[in-house]
């Protein structure tokens, strides 16, 4: 597919180490990956890579930088591990570790981690009339197995190690953004009627994917049915080039020779449990030079929260 790929060299904003299907976005991310997937069995080269990363385990994750929640947020996401609802795409197992960056990076047990992202063609549940840019099939062509207001959205509650796990799909893209997942960390609330209620939002951010892996995924079905200009990390309006501290995931292919088998992604989220940041109207930056200007359009569902930003504001999405 085509895209904004004029600058393919490794720059200061994209200092990535890519080897054997693994992206190491700094030692802290590697350490986070090691701890998050501690219940899996490593062998051979994978075990060696894990051992080499152990020296980073004593380092403390810096405080994550909060950014905008974007225009596609909806309240009332379900507490669940599998958020796919039958949506087609490359499998992604996502494990996030929440730590208190103000207190020696101790795990934040009971933190509620909420994520949401678009489907393989760039559509968000609850906003299925929004145009993802380029040429994409209608969202309805994927069938009606998924609830159009809940797919690819959900919460998980952190265990004693601060770890949550989601089963989802690799997100697609929409103009003018790079591939990403939205995330909020909540504390002080509780699970009620299948959702998370009360408390406050401590961190609002976005998770990002290495360009090389994203672009390979987008050549596969069903992603390849969405064609047009894909924005690389260096040209994205939200990602600031800070690696793991800016939300860049550590990714590991389930099968090194077959990306369609899926990926495991991980990141440590360093938060301040006393802070409050909803992400509404914060961060996001401006459109970079040469970036597409045809942001997605559409109207939110009638039962969307009244304070949600309109999809026309996706320059901060």
Question: Which DSSP string corresponds to 291-315?
Answer: -----------TTS-TTPPPGGGGG
What would the mean pLDDT of 254-279 be, rounded to a whole number?
A: 93
d(CA 241, CA 210): 11
For position 38, what pLDDT does the model report?
42
Cα four-point dihedral sign 52, 53, 54, 55: positive
Inform me whether the pLDDT recorded for 241 exceeds 90.
yes
List % helix, strand, coil for the chain (3-state, nearest 5).
15, 25, 55
For position 29, what pLDDT does the model report?
34
Backbone angles phi, psi at 146, to 5 degrees: -100, 145
263 close to 98: Cβ distance less than 8 angstroms: no
For position 2, what pLDDT does the model report?
37
What count of other Cβ atoms lies within 10 Å of the Cβ of residue 47?
11
Inform me whether the pLDDT recorded for 6 exceeds 70.
no
Q: What is the pLDDT of residues 222-234, one digit of tens each?
A: 999 999 999 999 9
Please state the pTM of the whole predicted model: 0.74
Q: What is the pLDDT of residues 29-71, one digit of tens each?
A: 333 333 333 443 333 333 333 322 222 333 567 889 899 999 9
| Burial of 6 per CB tally in 10 Å (0-12, 13-18, 19+) | exposed
For position 147, what pLDDT does the model report?
81
For position 145, what pLDDT does the model report?
64
| Burial of 280 per CB tally in 10 Å (0-12, 13-18, 19+) | middle
For position 26, what pLDDT does the model report?
31
For position 65, what pLDDT does the model report?
86
Inform me whether the pLDDT recorded for 280 exceeds 70.
no
Inform me whether the pLDDT recorded for 286 exceeds 90.
no
Cα atoms in the 13 Å half-sphere on the side-chain side of 224: 6
What would the mean pLDDT of 67-80 be, rounded to a whole number?
A: 94
d(CA 302, CA 72): 13
End-to-end CA distance of the chain: 23
Inform me whether the pLDDT recorded for 246 exceeds 50.
yes
Q: Name residue 18's beta-bridge partners.
A: 23
Joined tokens for residue 228: 């047009």
Q: What is the pLDDT of residues 154-206, one digit of tens each?
A: 999 999 999 999 999 999 999 999 999 999 999 999 999 999 999 999 999 99
207 close to 267: Cβ distance less than 8 angstroms: yes
For position 144, what pLDDT does the model report?
58
Mean pLDDT lowest among 139-153, 237-251, 276-290 = 276-290
Alpha-carbon Rg for the chain in angstroms: 18
Q: What is the pLDDT of residues 104-155, one digit of tens each?
A: 999 999 999 999 999 999 999 999 999 999 999 998 776 556 788 999 999 9
133 close to 86: Cβ distance less than 8 angstroms: no
For position 9, what pLDDT does the model report?
30
In sequence order, what are the residues at sequence separation of 6 or more whose Cβ sits closer than 8 angstroms to the Cβ of residue 113? 96, 98, 155, 156, 157, 158, 164, 183, 184, 185, 186, 269
310 close to 147: Cβ distance less than 8 angstroms: no
- Quickly tell me which residue has 């060299």 as its tokens: 9
d(CA 234, CA 248): 12
For position 202, what pLDDT does the model report?
96
d(CA 232, CA 6): 10
Proportion of the chain above pLDDT 70, given as a percent: 68
């Amino acid at each position: 597919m085509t895209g904004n790929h004029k600058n393919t060299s490794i720059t200061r904003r994209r200092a990535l180490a890519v080897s054997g299907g693994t992206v190491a976005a700094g030692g802290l991310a590697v350490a986070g990956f090691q701890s998050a997937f501690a219940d899996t069995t490593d062998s051979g080269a994978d075990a060696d890579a894990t051992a080499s990363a152990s020296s980073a385990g004593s380092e403390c994750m810096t405080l994550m930088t909060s950014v905008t929640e974007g225009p596609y947020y909806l309240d009332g996401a379900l507490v669940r591990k599998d958020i796919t609802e039958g949506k087609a795409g490359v499998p992604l197992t996502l494990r996030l570790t929440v730590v208190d960056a103000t207190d020696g990076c101790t795990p934040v047990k009971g933190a509620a981690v909420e994520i949401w992202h678009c489907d393989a063609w760039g559509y968000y549940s609850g906003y299925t009339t929004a145009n993802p840019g380029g040429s994409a099939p209608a969202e309805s062509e994927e069938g009606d197995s998924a609830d159009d207001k809940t797919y690819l959205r959900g919460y998980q509650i952190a265990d004693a190690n601060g770890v949550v796990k989601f089963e989802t799909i690799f997100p697609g893209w929409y103009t003018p953004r790079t591939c990403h997942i939205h995330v909020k960390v909540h504390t002080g609330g509780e699970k009620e009627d299948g959702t998370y209620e009360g408390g406050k939002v401590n961190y609002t951010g976005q998770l990002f994917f290495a360009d090389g892996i994203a672009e390979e995924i987008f050549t596969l079905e069903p992603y390849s049915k969405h064609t047009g200009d894909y924005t690389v990390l260096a040209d994205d309006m939200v990602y600031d080039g800070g690696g793991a501290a800016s939300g860049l995931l550590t990714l590991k292919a389930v099968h090194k020779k077959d990306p369609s088998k899926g990926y495991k992604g991980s990141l440590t989220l360093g938060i301040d449990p006393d802070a409050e940041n909803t992400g509404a109207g914060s961060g996001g930056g401006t459109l970079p030079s040469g970036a597409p200007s045809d942001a997605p359009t559409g109207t939110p569902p009638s039962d969307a929260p009244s304070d949600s930003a309109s999809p026309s504001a996706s320059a901060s999405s």
